[in-house]
């Protein structure tokens, strides 16, 4: 099982990618759908919102009046925090419930519009980013959704920048062409990277990178920081420090770099305790070298070697 985070700016074309992945077997979890579900009419979540913000956030039928809630919830920072304190635990619990129900061999597709803004990238095996330039997205929002141009610009400006998205994107799907072009690119990513990654994780198999480093990949120091964050998400308190210590290459090919990472732990018992979470997270064990345990990457598109070493 692997978890894929799918995101992109408003109007970028995430729905086309999601449909392609779902058609080929992805287990879909839609963050927006869950956010609506946990405050639907008759739910404890809706009752909590009414208690916190007043009965006038309900419409005449007893359902949530979203504009009325927004007017109150975003009137101050304290109110926004109050809203999040109610909805976020409910969304998290429902997301976990759906994740737990997924088949053992699933490719879980978590569709999250604000994945970058929420600093959620380290908690996925891969992040798939759908990109289109801001002017293209603006035109699509006006044409397909009838959105006011100023409103569309404000929404685009309020989201993450392209540089912020590129820093966390493992798969970058450019949607500057046609819908068919995007669907074809998504299918290639599914076939060449997501399915092999899932199979490698299931088999506990580390691989050298098959897919080359491309112009869509960020600077390698940014890649190193990304992997450090993922390793922290997997290791948690089990690690004392995690560092990107260098970059080598697969069979001497500079287009297939291998990021060298060092995880320092308290002792050998702590190193052993990390073996399973690292493996499940995409870094299965490879060998033991001296006092260190070496893990590799199960991702065919990203070479990583992790040495877990007692302090």
Binding residues for ATP: 11-16
Tokens (6 digits) for 306 = 């992790």
DSSP letter string over 169-237? -SEEEE-SS-HHHHHHHHHHHIIIIIHHHHHHHHHT------SPP-TTS--HHHHHHHHHHHHHHHHGG
Spatial neighbors of 215 by CB under 8 A, at least 6 apart, are none
Tokens (6 digits) for 236 = 């948690």
Placement of tokens 């779902």 in the chain:
22
| Helix, strand, or coil (residue 246) | strand
Q: Distance (Å, rounded) from C-alpha 127 to C-alpha 4?
A: 6
Q: Distance (Å, rounded) from C-alpha 288 to C-alpha 107?
A: 30
| Helix, strand, or coil (residue 299) | coil
Handedness of CA 111, 114, 115, 116 (dihedral sign): positive
Instruction: List residues forming the annotated binding site.
Output: 11-16
Q: Is 164 left (phi over 0), alpha (psi -120 to 50) or beta?
A: alpha
Please provide residue 245's backbone torsions phi and psi, each rounded to the nearest 5 degrees: -100, -5
Q: Distance (Å, rounded) from C-alpha 38 to C-alpha 74?
A: 19
Q: Distance (Å, rounded) from C-alpha 147 to C-alpha 102?
A: 36
């Amino acid at each position: 099982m692997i978890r894929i985070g799918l995101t992109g700016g408003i109007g970028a074309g995430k729905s086309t990618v999601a449909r392609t992945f779902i058609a080929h077997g992805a287990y879909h979890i839609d963050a927006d759908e869950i956010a609506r579900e946990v405050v639907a009419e008759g739910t404890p979540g809706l009752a909590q919102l009414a208690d916190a913000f007043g009965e006038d956030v309900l419409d005449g039928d007893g359902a949530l009046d979203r504009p009325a809630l927004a007017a109150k919830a975003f009137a101050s920072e304290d109110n926004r925090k109050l809203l999040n304190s109610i909805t976020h635990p409910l969304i998290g619990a429902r997301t976990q419930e759906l994740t737990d129900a997924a088949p053992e061999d699933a490719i879980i597709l978590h569709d999250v519009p604000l994945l970058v803004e929420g600093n959620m990238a380290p908690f996925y095996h891969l992040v798939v980013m759908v990109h289109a330039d801001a002017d293209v997205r603006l035109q699509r929002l006006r044409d397909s959704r009838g959105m006011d141009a100023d409103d569309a610009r404000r929404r685009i400006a309020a989201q993450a920048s392209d540089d912020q998205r590129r820093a966390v994107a493992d798969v970058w799907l450019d949607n500057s062409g046609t819908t068919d072009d995007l669907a074809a690119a998504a299918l290639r990513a599914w076939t060449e990277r997501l399915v092999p990654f899932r199979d490698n994780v299931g088999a506990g198999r580390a691989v050298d990178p098959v897919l080359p480093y491309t112009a869509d990949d960020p600077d390698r120091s940014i890649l190193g920081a990304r992997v450090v964050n993922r390793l922290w998400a997997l290791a948690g308190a089990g690690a004392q420090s995690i560092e990107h210590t260098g970059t080598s290459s697969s069979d001497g090919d500079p287009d297939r770099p291998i990021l060298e990472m060092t995880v320092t732990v308290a002792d050998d018992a702590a190193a052993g305790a990390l073996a399973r979470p690292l493996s499940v997270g995409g870094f299965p064990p490879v060998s033991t070298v001296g006092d260190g345990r070496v893990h590799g990457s199960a991702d065919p598109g990203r070479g990583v070697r992790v040495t877990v070493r007692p302090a």
